[in-house]
Amino acid sequence: MMKLLSYTDRLWARAGQTVTVHASAEGFDSLEVDLVRLVCGDDSPAGPGYRLEPVAGTQQTVPAAFQAIHAGSCILADDAAGLRCLDDATVQILVWPTTPSDAEQAVMGIWDATTKAGFLLSIGPDGAALTTGDGDTVSRVATGAALTAREWYLIAASHDAVNGMLRIAQHPLNRDGRGERPLVALADKAVAPRAAEGTPLMVGAAWGGPGHADGLRPVMCFNGKVEAPRVLGHYETDLAGLNEAGSIPPAAPGIALAWDFSRAMTSLRVEDVSGNGRHGRTVNLPTRAMTGHDWTSQEHDWRHAPEQYGAIHLHDDDLGDAGWQESAQIVLPEGLRSGIYCIRLAGGGHEDMPPIVVQPPRGGPTAAIAFLSSTATYQTYANMHHSTDDAGAEMRSASATILSPSDVHLFEHRKLGHSPYDTHGDGSGVSVASARRPMLGYRPKAGLWSFNADTHVTAWLDDCGFAWDAISDHALHDEGLALLAPYKVVVTGTHPEYWSSAMWQAMTAYLDGGGRLMYLGGNGFYWRIAFHPAAPWALEIRRAQAGARYWIAEPGEYHMAFSGELGGLWQRIGIAPQQLVGIGTVATGFDSCGWYERLPDSFDPRAAWIFEGVGPEEKIGDFGQLGGAAGLELDWVDRTLGTPSHCLRLASSAGHSHQYLQTIDTMTFNHTAVAAPVNPAVRADMVFFETPRGGAVWSTGSIAWAASLAANGYDNNVARVTGNVLRRFADSAPIERGKPGP
């Protein structure tokens, strides 16, 4: 069990700014904290060497304490005054449950689960139920029949104070009229609900007392969609009539609350349309822009028919801002060199090091070279349960799974939240990832993938004497072209997979203005994401239409709630990676890696300088930590998807095993002849092309490329070719289209 976990309030900062650390420690009461520059985060003996450089003057000792995670999403009213002690009341809500036979789940109410006071509408093994309590006595009535998963129901309940009567109704909304019948149950001599002052009105959870998640601890969390909650200030006897009318109209007599989830979709707010101003907010980032009970399938963009997207999908394992108390603050020293840093926490024999990208002063780069840290991709992969949850993990890697300590901890502690590579406990896809929680996997020593693989690039830059700045995806999304414009060349990491529209637009403008880009990876610029406008530490993805994916978005739910944009592959949106960097994803394989062989274009005078010091028949990258420089995920040239007509295909990979398969999004029909080495599409293409105003792009097309840089103390042809390109791209002399290189 991992006894020390932490996260920071931001993933990037500049010298002079403060980074706040939130930590939980179990079994010890103090932490040693300092700032370290991370040269290389890969601690494998075959790598460049794990290296940290402490930053003087940042050491401190702070108290430590255990802090709990309170997962589970819900919707919370800003003000429940006037609703806690209604003598007569009727509540109604539409639900689409996903785990209806599990333990009792709170659907709606003002219910203190510790004191048993208030009222609670719930579902469980005995169907829909209404519970009332005054802190001493509890009354309950249930329909007696569990709901069916993934079917819409109208649940209505009422309390008659005069006669002490409880009434509960469970109406299936099957469109074809088949299946279940409406159920109504009655109970008399019921206790009147009396919630204590301060107990909130909640949808999707009950009040479990104060906590870290937006100031509360949600319990009895509901799994599934909810829509159109209503509260009436009188007892309603004709619950069947309510079903015939659908949702209670917002202007119905006696209406006390009517939430419409189709409004304020891109915010954290929910709006009360009853006129009483009882608005609310979402907690722990549930999924919005979900099809409602009346979705017709005629419109697939929620912006065009918002009234059909009035549902929110809640999960008992959603986690937004963990809300932990502040543990320490690190002030980044003035003049601190730009780079990849970690805040190192140590105590009780345990260590945690959340990374932070330290960028140069705004508008004041310190070098011609910028390394673009793929923070959006790191965040997306964090807390992935692939090794323990994916039945096909070993087949894809052609090897036995070896679990890391973080794999085991995540498996046993689901409340740390999931990755968009996972599914929720109810089987629905995880579309939201938060950075305000411990992000296991986004750490030094966490294996050679994504973040630590990228530190092979930063170690090479340092060890070979290049002056460079670090910038981040999140800053690129926020600041756009202004962040890139001062640099001669931008260098990516090994796997810049997740990009927002703002990032894409900024990079396109940078290249159009004469910028130069070195894409040192594979499977880049693949999925479109959106950052939440009110919670920029959260990002969203919809696994739509096509692509190598671990879950598929439901029909009608391809558009992201955070931005309204169509989610999915950039290629399917009509902007393939080939248009940006000349190549795009074509194949994957994880058992071994191959090498590159030069092609005729590599001898073209426009690009021959790239191979200075490399022989004409020399294999490029038939060595390295992964056995070769071409592997894992591969990109290729495809002129039909936008590879520029003047692009030079300099080299292509070889030596791939039969485990390498063409990706499903690059073919129209699956068949047997898709494995390497017989499939010519299973390859990585290295390309070069000039861009307007003296700019250029060079792309490697392989995630494994960087893992070969350090071989033989950087005295190898992978490092040589990469260095040749970087030195030329960092030079101010224009790279003119169609003309020989230097």
**How confident is the model over 45-99, as pLDDT tens digits?**
888 999 999 999 999 999 999 999 999 999 999 888 777 666 788 999 999 999 9
Residue 721 burial (C-beta neighbours within 10 Å; 0-12, 13-18, 19+)? buried
Kindly report, residue by residue over 452-466, the tens digit of the pLDDT.
999 999 999 999 999
Q: CA–CA separation, 369 vs 467, rounded Å? A: 7
Q: Is the confidence at residue 431, as pLDDT, over 70?
A: yes
Written as six digits, the tokens of 467 are 């002056």
Question: Region 554-569: what's the mean pLDDT?
Answer: 96
Q: Is the confidence at residue 245, as pLDDT, over 60?
A: no
Q: CA–CA separation, 501 vs 516, rounded Å? A: 20
pLDDT for 491 equals: 98
pLDDT for 247 equals: 65
Question: Region 379-393: what's the mean pLDDT?
Answer: 84
Delimit the CATH 2.60.40.1930 region(s) of the chain: 4-69+322-356
Question: Region 686-693: what's the mean pLDDT?
Answer: 96
Delimit the CATH 2.60.120.200 region(s) of the chain: 74-314
Question: Region 306-331: what's the mean pLDDT?
Answer: 96
Question: Region 596-619: what's the mean pLDDT?
Answer: 96
Taken in order 618, 623, 628, 630, the sign of the CA dihedral is negative
Q: Mean pLDDT for the chain?
A: 92
pLDDT for 667 equals: 81
pLDDT for 57 equals: 93
Query: Left if phi > 0, otherwise alpha if psi is -120 to 50, otherwise beta: which for 624?
Result: left
pLDDT for 189 equals: 82
Q: Are 644 and 689 in contact (CB under 8 A)?
A: yes
CATH value of 74-314 in 3.40.50.2000, 1.10.3720.10, 2.60.120.200, 3.40.50.1820: 2.60.120.200
Q: In which residue are the tokens 């209806």 written?
A: 100
Q: Does the predicted TM-score (pTM) go above 0.75?
A: yes
Q: CA–CA separation, 554 vs 378, rounded Å? A: 25
Question: Region 286-293: what's the mean pLDDT?
Answer: 96
Burial 413-434 (b: 16+ CB within 10 A, else e): bbebbbbbbbbbbbebbbbbbb
The second-level CATH assignment, the architecture, of 4-69+322-356 is Sandwich (2.60)
Across 126-135, 172-181, 229-238, 346-355, least confident range: 172-181
Confidence of residue 673 (pLDDT cuts 50, 70, 90): low
DSSP 216: B
Closest Cα to residue 309, out of 77, 564, 91? 564
pLDDT for 237 equals: 72
Question: Region 651-678: what's the mean pLDDT?
Answer: 82
Q: Are 131 and 138 in contact (CB under 8 A)?
A: yes
Whats the size of the chain, residue-wise?
742
Confidence of residue 672 (pLDDT cuts 50, 70, 90): low
Kindly report, residue by residue over 573-588, the tens digit of the pLDDT.
999 999 999 999 999 9
Confidence of residue 696 (pLDDT cuts 50, 70, 90): very high
Identify the helix (H) or strand (E) that includes residue 380: helix 375-381
Residue 396 dihedral angles phi and psi, to the nearest 5°: -70, -35
Q: Is the confidence at residue 363, as pLDDT, over 90?
A: no
